[in-house]
Structure 1
Amino acid sequence: MTNRPMHEVITRRQPVTLPPAASVQEACQAMRQHRIGAVLVTDEAGRLLGIFTGRDAIARVLAEGRDAAATRLQAVMTPQPHCCAPHRRAIEALRLMRDGGFRHIPVVEGERLVGIVSRGDFLGAEQARIEEETALWERL
């Protein structure tokens, strides 16, 4: 089924969040502990400020020779990431990820962080539809 609302996709877990002053090392440890590829960076009120992913760790920390223990997330996170509302359809989130070239998308309702989804959270039918759309666009 490719018509699922996002709230059905995100029902299985709460997102891992850290403050902007947390270190990259803390973020990487949290990602390893929870077996996830991204942490969300939030302020004291729980509002989304940014996202930090494994790609960020490689491109913005390791590749630049930064010290993971001394580097703060606010310096290397992706600020104001693209988000999706929980009432949107799963296929819309997949399109946004495909078009933006990213693997994770926070789910936000108003200013309230609801969750996060990654490509692996979607059903095979949703993935297949995106692949069909991509193939169609490539032929045009």
Structure 2
Amino acid sequence: MKDRPLIEVAPHRDVVCLLPTTTVQDACARMRGCGTSAALVTDEEGHLLGIFTGRDAICRVMAEARDAATTPIGEVMTAMVESLGPRDRAIDALHLMHDGGFRHVPVVENGRVRSLVLRSDFRAIERARIEYEEEIFEDLR
């Protein structure tokens, strides 16, 4: 379990990749059409620039009364995205999500997006391990 490569978690997922000039409205429509909660923001060559999620749409667009039809996702995306490689351990991605408080980790290889892993992709045993480790660290404090 702990040595499972990250690419095994979601090896064939179609990832929504959008340019930073895409409007929030278009991004949300594309995400809805694909049944995903996030889009990766990339340049023309597929290099990761950021991530745009449903949370971004609510917290950075709706809550700030911005116009979704004219606001580019490049202005409201999360730019400092942590990513891992396809051969990194799956448990490391789950640790990253847990510690960072987010639900998506892009998988990048040779500078280009390869996949996107969601917290829900992980097995219950892996999520239980994180909770167990957290309990141990809390007891040590």
What TM-score, normalized to structure 2? 0.95
* Offset from partner CA, 1:82-139 (integer Å, 9 cap, x none): 0011111110000001111100010011312111011001111111111111222222
What is the CA RMSD across the aligned residues, in angstroms?
A: 1.0
- 2-side partners of 1:119 and 1:28: how far apart? 20
Aligned to 1:118: 118
- 2-side partners of 1:18 and 1:138: how far apart? 40
Determine what percentage of the aligned residue pairs are the same residue: 54
One-letter amino acid matched to 1:22: T
Structure-to-structure mapping, 1:119-138, within 5 angstroms: 119-138=119-138
Aligned to 1:55: 55
One-letter amino acid matched to 1:122: F
Aligned to 1:85: 85
The yes-or-no answer on 1:29 pairing with 2:29 is yes
* Offset from partner CA, 1:10-34 (integer Å, 9 cap, x none): 2131211110000001111112111
Gaps of 5+ in 1: none
- 2-side partners of 1:129 and 1:12: how far apart? 25
Aligned to 2:9: 9
* Offset from partner CA, 1:12-70 (integer Å, 9 cap, x none): 31211110000001111112111111000011111111100111111100100001111
Aligned to 1:100: 100
What TM-score, normalized to structure 1? 0.95
- 2-side partners of 1:110 and 1:10: how far apart? 18
- 2-side partners of 1:31 and 1:135: how far apart? 36
- 2-side partners of 1:27 and 1:85: how far apart? 25
Kept in 2, the 8 Å contact 1:2–1:129? The answer is no
Deviation beyond 3 Å, 4+ runs, structure 1: none
* Number of residue pairs matched by the alignment: 140
